Chains A and B, each alone.
Chain A
């Protein structure tokens, strides 16, 4: 098995090598930049109602599936 080089071996600390990585990636593709999350959006009342409706739909339908499994095994 090929040994994976350690970070210190693999990463050339010279500015040129790091610059080429920086040049090939967009600024927000860097892990360090991605650590900043997007802000939370304010949900409208209609959106919250829709989310709840779909949540209840899913729970109800899962109950239906369990019921179908139960009657098919009887």
Chain B
């Protein structure tokens, strides 16, 4: 059978028959059913904390996708942004990118809850294998490159403590395997959420640095300054920052996780809260990173080839030894959480298009292909990072740029699925969501084209920037 199958045959070993005529129930169904029973019980409860209990049970995919996207390369992009451009333009710009991410990710919650199908699966089913293959190949390449950069971040973060690269990478792989080996979506989600909470360390670090609150406030009103104007380097960092917030794996991950968690139409409100909460936390963390590294810009420090350890060392006089340690651990956490979520998105997508079982509720025997993709993608990416002499900093920025460039085609599929009445029924996107989603596609395409012009015809870009200034 081709790996790109539009049907999903089931392995006979995974099912348990009941009486003839009744539906077959799998181990995966039982695990998901247990999670749903707790949700239904919480829904029936009354009292001041009933809503919080329900929210606690239903949140997860949104926070994970947003904090997962605050990954190693993203945090290093934000660090490079703060150190090279200060806080002016980029603070409000980062907030804007997270608003875009919320608009996009909300659609995946709606589609997942309405159809109970993963993103790759729906693209194959509705648009056919020809376009499905393109989107899956885009995802596979993008995910593998991004996974490599996660291990770059982990290696660089632990490098601050003098830990050898192979030890650092091996530890990260073991943590990742530990999370997966629970064979239970709920446990996997809670372990990953607990690790992801450490992403918020950049908020207190920014406060320790004692930011100039007047400048922070002014930047949100004026969106300035943008030192150096609109140059190739500036556009590279703008596009990298967009790619640090909205990337194709997020669409695939959140929709598949929504399905694996078992969210239904009645849970969409909580899915939206989960997504918005995740975006708020991730944006606060990203802003914290820019603010904490902004003093390096004020000191005119050259950070062109900085990795995480160098950033931590440069910041140590400003935030102290303890702050530098937390900074490095924050980068490591960013890499680990993203590696967990990105490898899961690859495994989900593979299972969906290959017609193989795909759930974190599967046992190792039932989900052999699902876990194999997960393990192998992680192991291969980890191995690449150990190759000596790799230009790591440039690779990190370029991966984010590629993610931004791959977004418009992925977004058009998402947009069309979210407006597909046949599968969405009354949950099709409202007009305001379509306007916002279209604006995001236009913005991303324009940013990509401007980046292209800046590379191929830098003089045209300079003339364009001067014309705009006048």
Contacts and interface: CB of A to CB of B under 8 A. Distances in A.
Interface of A: 4, 7-8, 10-11, 13, 15, 18, 20-22, 24-35, 37-41, 43, 47, 50-51, 54-55, 57-58, 60-62, 64-65, 67-69, 71-73
A34 B117 contact: yes
A25 B448 contact: no
B406 A58 contact: yes
B29 A60 contact: no
B10 A24 contact: no
A29 B32 contact: yes
19 contacts: A13-B18, A28-B116, A29-B36, A29-B116, A31-B10, A31-B14, A35-B8, A37-B121, A37-B125, A38-B422, A47-B416, A54-B409, A54-B412, A55-B134, A55-B409, A57-B448, A61-B448, A65-B401, A67-B456
A72 B236 CA distance: 13
- Chain B interface helix/strand/loop/mixed: helix
B37 A20 contact: yes
A21 B455 contact: no
Given A7-B27, A30-B29, A57-B409, 14 more contacts: A10-B27, A11-B27, A24-B34, A24-B36, A27-B23, A30-B23, A32-B23, A34-B8, A40-B127, A50-B412, A54-B409, A57-B445, A65-B401, A67-B456
A71 to B, nearest CB: 8
Given A15-B19, A29-B264, A35 B405 contact: no
A11 B23 contact: no
B255 to A, nearest CB: 14
Contacts of A25: 29, 32-33, 36, 262
Contact of A13 (B16, B36, B117): B16
Interface residues of B, number: 64
A22 to B, nearest CB: 7
Nearest to B18: A18
B272 interface: no
Contacts of B439: none
B394 interface: yes
Given A11-B30, A25-B29, A31-B29, A41 B398 contact: no
B33 A21 contact: yes
A12 to B, nearest CB: 9
A65 to B, nearest CB: 6
A22 B412 contact: no
- Chain A interface helix/strand/loop/mixed: helix
A41 B419 CA distance: 13
B388 interface: no
B51 interface: no
Interface in B305-348: none
B15 A32 contact: yes
A64 B451 contact: yes
Nearest to B455: A68
A30 B28 CA distance: 9
Contacts of B423: 38
Contacts of A51: 131, 409, 412
Contacts of A34: 8, 116-117
B455 A64 contact: yes
Contacts of A22: 23, 25, 33
A30 B126 contact: no
Contacts of B10: 31-32, 35
Contacts of A18: 18, 22, 25
B234 interface: no
A32 B27 CA distance: 12
Contacts of B92: none
B116 A65 contact: no
Nearest to B26: A31
